[in-house]
Every structure is written in C-alpha cells, then in structure tokens.
A and B are shown apart, each in its own frame.
Chain A
Amino acid sequence: MTYVADVVALTRKDLRVELRARDTLPAMLLFVLSTLVVFHFALPEGTGDDAAYGLLWVAIVFTALLGLARAWVPEHEHGVLDGLVLAPSDRSAIWLGKTLATLAFLVAAQVVALPAFVLFFAPLDLTALAGVLLADIGICSVGSLMAAMAAAGRSREVLLPLLVLPLAIPLIVGGVGAAISPEGARYLLLLALYDAVFSVLSWASFEYVVTE
C-alpha cells in the first residue's frame, strides 16, 4: 500500500507541475496535430489507408519522444532527483510515477489526435485503438527509463531518440499490424508481451540508472 501511495503522490506531482508549467502537453498537442495536417496535404490523392496508418505511427512515436524529452526536466532543475533518490521509498516508484504521468500526457494528446486522424485519413477500429493504447504503455515505460538516462547527459535531445527509437520498432510493427492486419489480435498479443517484458525490465533497472 505504501508503494502505491508513493506512486500516486509522484504521479499527482507530475500532473500538477505540468498543469502549472504547461511545458509538455501543449507542445505535444501542437506537434501531433500539425504533423497530421502536414501529412494530410503531403499524401498523394488515392493513397491507401495502409500508408495513412503508417504515418499515424510516425506522429505517435515522435509525439511521445517530445513528451519524454521533457519528462525529467523538472527533476533536473534544482536537482530534485537527488532528493527523490535519497528518500527511503522504493526508487522504482519514481520511474512508475513518471511513466504514468507521461502516459497520461500521451493519451491526452491522442484524445485530440485520433479523431483528427479519422477525420483526415481513415477509420480506426477497436483493435487499432487497443494497439495504440498498448504501444503507448510500452513506449512510456521504456522511454521513461531511457529519458532518465539521457537527462543525466548534456545532449539529451540527441541521445533520447537514439536510445528510444530502436526499442520502439517492435511497438511500431505491432501498432501498424493491429490496425491493418486481418490477424490484429496476434499483434495485440505481441504488444502486450512487449509491455510486460520491458515494463518489468525498466522497473527493475531504474535504481541502477539513478545511482552511481
């Protein structure tokens, strides 16, 4: 129960900080919407839905990267991460709180972006939506860990995509597969497996990322 209370307190803190600073979510919303608008005009007439689903995943992944790049900034301003690391609570709670907050921002951006995608491009069925949600979980859990690693260095903006994008490839494959394949359920299973394995790995290894 104490662990859950710590995670809740840390997530709530992130949401509160974002609500006041408005650094991350507006940037994510603006980016994902403008990307979809650009794709709408860039995609030639008569291009199939499959290409559009691919472009949706380009927009989702880079929007997530934008959120992840800012995820640990409040902790690095004023050195707050040291304060959190020194607290006697389980350090993985810091990662989980950050993952849940980043997930909330990404889902909030998609609440606007997905209807825009349907309006501009193609319909999304339940399997495709489940694929988006499962991929969100995966990219936020792995991405929060990688963003914590990247944030410690000076070239955060360069390092983060290098760390996250290779790990996001199975998520893109699963997400696109769930949207276009007649066997979408198999891709959902792939995404769920990815989430389970990489979430546990990220949860277990966070302590080693934030301590020397």
Chain B
Amino acid sequence: MIRARNLEKRYGRRRVLAGVDLAVPAGGFAVVTGPNGSGKTTLLRVLAGLAAPTRGELEVNADRGELGYLAHEPLVYRELTAVENLDLFGRLYRVPERRERIGMLLERFGLWGARNERVSTYSRGMTQRLALSRALLHDPALILLDEPYSALDEAGADLLDRELDALAGSRTLVVATHDPQRLAALTTATIALA
C-alpha cells in the first residue's frame, strides 16, 4: 500500500528527512520511531500528501477519502462542539449513516456526555480522543497516527490499545511513537529515523 525509496524532505537548506525507505503492504502495521526532530511528523505529513517530498519516490495506494490522519494538532474547531466537528467532517468525507457513526465513535471514545460542549472547554486528553474519533470517522483504509498516545490518561491509552488491536490486519497503519514497545505485538515493520 505504501512504498517509498530514498525519500528526502528539505525546508530551505534544512534537511528534515534523508534517505527513508519503506514498504508497508495492505494490512501492515508500521511503527515510526526516532528522537525528537528526527522527522517522524514530516514523514507522516509526506505520506498523507500534506507535504511534497523534495527527492525520492513515493507511492501511496489510497485516495484522500481512504486516509485517516491524526496529527500533533487535533484538527478540530475549538468553538464547535464534538458533534458539530464530527458532523462537518462526516459531511465532507461523505460518511454514510453519519449520525449513527458519530454517536458510536463518541460513545466508544468516552465523549458522549460531553458531545454538546465546545472543544475549547475540553481537556487535552478529551481533545485527543475527539481527534482520534475524527481520524477514524470515515473508516479509512490507511491510518496515519502521529503520537496517538500523547495526552491520553491510562484509561484512554488502554482504549486506544484496543482500537488499534481491532484495526490491525484489516487496515494499514503507520504510527509514529516514542514508545514502540507498547505496540510491539501488533508491529509488522519498524522505521527507525535518526
């Protein structure tokens, strides 16, 4: 599903990614590791199509509508409620039976009780749960997650473990994390950035 060879990304003179090779087949679970500043976020942005590689070959066999992307930032409007945010993205992603899907995700991620509150009133952990709901809203075939455990408490992290466990195998996942051990049982490929 994803094949990249000698991927390089520069911002001006600064080289953020250099010589990255990766191959993730459909249903694969790749973990991207590396220290701060090694280019994990940039790699995920390049794979999502949000940034163009400066050099190298990249092939991602998924349309925009088949891609679920969790970024460092939650990609939701602060002044809208959880339901309003998911409803907007559900419309744009043409999610069938949108309301049912939104209700199910909010329930699953423990946000049902706060569904009509503005995101600006959410804690960082609740916002991350909403961001995960948004990324998975359209049941994407390719899921790119950038530090998905960040800001989640233990209950939230366990919930995410279960979600990833359920998705592994049937979806292609690329997860950037500082804690690869947590995902070791699911991982089929590791991309270590220096």
Contact = CB atoms under 8 A, between A and B. Distances in A.
A186 interface: no
A83 B84 contact: no
B69 A82 contact: yes
B68 to A, nearest CB: 9
B50 A83 contact: no
| Chain B residues touching A, majority SS | loop
A81 B78 CA distance: 13
Contacts of A45: none
Contact of B77 (A5, A17, A86): A17
Interface string A171-184: 00000000000000
Contacts, number: 80
Contact of B89 (A17, A79, A85, A87): A87
Contact of B88 (A13, A21, A77, A79): A13
B80 interface: yes
A20 B118 contact: yes
Q: What band does the interface of chain A fall in when counting residues whose beta carbon is under 8 Å from B?
A: 20 to 34
Given A6-B91, A13-B88, A212-B52, A86 B69 contact: yes
| Chain A residues touching B, majority SS | helix
Nearest to A91: B64
B97 to A, nearest CB: 16
B33 to A, nearest CB: 23
Contacts of B78: 74, 77-78
B92 A87 contact: yes
Nearest to B46: A212
Interface string B30-72: 0000000000000000001111100000000001110101011
B134 interface: yes
A88 B80 contact: no
Interface of A: 2, 5-6, 9-10, 13, 16-17, 20-21, 74, 77-80, 82-89, 211-212
